[in-house]
Structure 1
């Protein structure tokens, strides 16, 4: 009887050790947060699919704009920069996010901090590019006569470079305390925890960019409506003038739908993450809620090539040339894409 009782008393300790991230650190190791196997596999499959799709779609954008000379325009340079950032999300960020979906973090503490530096940098680059694209379209519609002199390829390249430099510098500055002493905010072995000034990040990288985008697009809509009214007031009985007016109206409606989808999708993907940060609530690493929030943010990188590029006929034509390997033919870069 004594042996049986002793055996029964030892069972809980074995079970507790099996639930630890590091068995060699019994007192300081984190406990595993177990989840149903079906839920875990669904998360892995979803993240892997989004990773491959994001990398593939943005790679098509990168090849199209880089290869065909007709696409060397200031606006497309901004699209190229955005596609490069989103391609890195699909190639590096999402696969590393799979490690964070695990109940325990088994990589080095420095790798944990550098991963978040990469995440913040790429997200900030994407947001910065969206603002630059908004400015580009604002000048193109509201000041079309001076657009060629204001928005040149050289200026756009400089602003894109500054956008990348600022995003990386901002991320290092935001996470400086974490980089100075990696793992200082971990409560136990097996965590990947960072801390930063969430209020500053929300203001600089969410509220201000969204406000700028909305203001610019509202100005674009106002100018488009005023131009349409001016054209309708000066319509003559000429069929050509009528057709031009109808075409302009359809083009304005299409642009309005595109911009509306852009802002709505961005808010849908980013608002949950920033709202949780604003509330001060901490999500557990590897939890279902944390995985879903990160999934939404990364899914925006998959949708960007659809929103920005798939609406353009030149992209569909360039994809056809890429898939059929016609870009390998001599002088294919001179092909008529527009």
Structure 2
């Protein structure tokens, strides 16, 4: 293994650890803190689960698919489709969050009456269910030609089984670009609506409450829009390189550029928990609360362990003194 591959593997391991720890913290924070158990945050949990699986499943598989694993053609194809699945779930969850924010701003009263945790769970489940058939389309024929022998094994590489036509036309243009355009329109409408309403001078108490509500919605929408922006910045380079490679022929883009693009796309899953910590106050408070509980529990366990050791030592000394007295 050359130096470049070693550096790539080490960076992937670090990103995977960050994905797992950070997104596990997000799930714990949103699951245990009653003050932020709102329907929108259920979708954020779904996004965090997908990001966690990127670190726990996708990144190890991506490293294995870099020529370190020999499998049958269809096994390699299945593993590659799993990698596509987690990316598609993330973007569908982001779109569901954007739609949820749009409805909450434009029809707040009706939203509060109708949208419940049950609805959000259903939407999150739909994101996963829709992503599965779209991601596994290559399994139904849109893949590169398998080896002639049914029993032969191949060195499993993503680009050796997934055709570039699928990555460009289906994965990027249909499954990524179209949802991104929808989300850009939705967030633009949200910010224009809030900006226009906040320009109005508050009058009575109801209008003051409306302004406070809109300020909070604007802050949360800004944070979620930042998550979307980072997703675009992280994933756009690899898609652009795929397009260049497809239309201008292989070897147009250097391999090292592809590796950087892959690392950047994986790093996006580790960045989201950091954004939540700095931009969403309720989640930041929940982080601090969980951290303090962890530290206190650790300190208490250490204290009880030391206390138990001291008691045992004192007990042994007393028993020794008694034995001496008896002798």
Shift of 1:310: 4.5
Tell me if structure 2 keeps the 8 A contact 1:217–1:259: no
Shift of 1:121: 0.8
Q: Which residue of 1 aligns with 2:137?
A: 173
Give matches, 1:125-164, under 5 Å.
Answer: 125-164=89-128
Instruction: Give distance in 1, aligned partners of 2:147 and 2:33.
Output: 47
From the superposition, tell whether residues 182 and 74 of structure 1 become closer, same or farther in structure 2 (CA, over 3 Å).
farther
Shift of 1:266: 1.7
From the superposition, tell whether residues 163 and 107 of structure 1 become closer, same or farther in structure 2 (CA, over 3 Å).
same
From the superposition, tell whether residues 313 and 131 of structure 1 become closer, same or farther in structure 2 (CA, over 3 Å).
same
Is 1:205 the counterpart of 2:175 in the alignment?
yes
Instruction: Give distance in 2, aligned partners of 1:217 and 1:194.
Output: 37
Tell me if structure 1 keeps the 8 A contact 2:66–2:156: no
Is 1:288 the counterpart of 2:256 in the alignment?
yes
Shift of 1:283: 6.4
Is 1:263 the counterpart of 2:228 in the alignment?
yes
From the superposition, tell whether residues 225 and 118 of structure 1 become closer, same or farther in structure 2 (CA, over 3 Å).
same
Instruction: Give distance in 2, aligned partners of 1:327 and 1:82.
Output: 27
Q: What is the RMSD computed on CA atoms of the aligned residues?
A: 3.4
From the superposition, tell whether residues 296 and 264 of structure 1 become closer, same or farther in structure 2 (CA, over 3 Å).
same
Structure 1: give runs of 5+ residues left out of the alignment: 1-33, 330-338
Instruction: Give distance in 2, aligned partners of 1:169 and 1:243.
Output: 45
Is 1:297 the counterpart of 2:262 in the alignment?
no
Shift of 1:311: 2.1
1:269-303 Cα offsets, whole Å, 9 max, x none, are: 1111222233315469x942222121111111112
From the superposition, tell whether residues 323 and 175 of structure 1 become closer, same or farther in structure 2 (CA, over 3 Å).
same
- The TM-score with structure 1 as length reference comes to 0.73
Higher normalized helix content (fraction of residues): 2
Give matches, 1:207-226, under 5 Å.
Answer: 207-226=177-196
For the residue of structure 2 that corresponds to 1:325, the secondary structure is helix
Shift of 1:73: 1.8
Q: 1:95 aligns with which of 43, 60, 63?
A: 60
Shift of 1:40: 2.6
1:17-75 Cα offsets, whole Å, 9 max, x none, are: xxxxxxxxxxxxxxxxx74x2x2332122111110001100001111222333333211
Instruction: Give distance in 2, aligned partners of 1:112 and 1:128.
Output: 25
From the superposition, tell whether residues 272 and 174 of structure 1 become closer, same or farther in structure 2 (CA, over 3 Å).
same
Tell me if structure 2 keeps the 8 A contact 1:129–1:160: yes
From the superposition, tell whether residues 314 and 249 of structure 1 become closer, same or farther in structure 2 (CA, over 3 Å).
closer
Q: Greater shift after overlay, 73-82 or 288-297? A: 288-297
Q: Greater shift after overlay, 132-141 or 154-163? A: 154-163
From the superposition, tell whether residues 244 and 179 of structure 1 become closer, same or farther in structure 2 (CA, over 3 Å).
closer
For the residue of structure 1 that corresponds to 2:70, the secondary structure is coil
Q: Greater shift after overlay, 295-304 or 76-85? A: 295-304
Structure 2: give runs of 5+ residues left out of the alignment: 298-327
For the residue of structure 2 that corresponds to 1:175, the secondary structure is helix
Tell me if structure 2 keeps the 8 A contact 1:202–1:278: no
Instruction: Give distance in 1, aligned partners of 2:75 and 2:100.
Output: 37
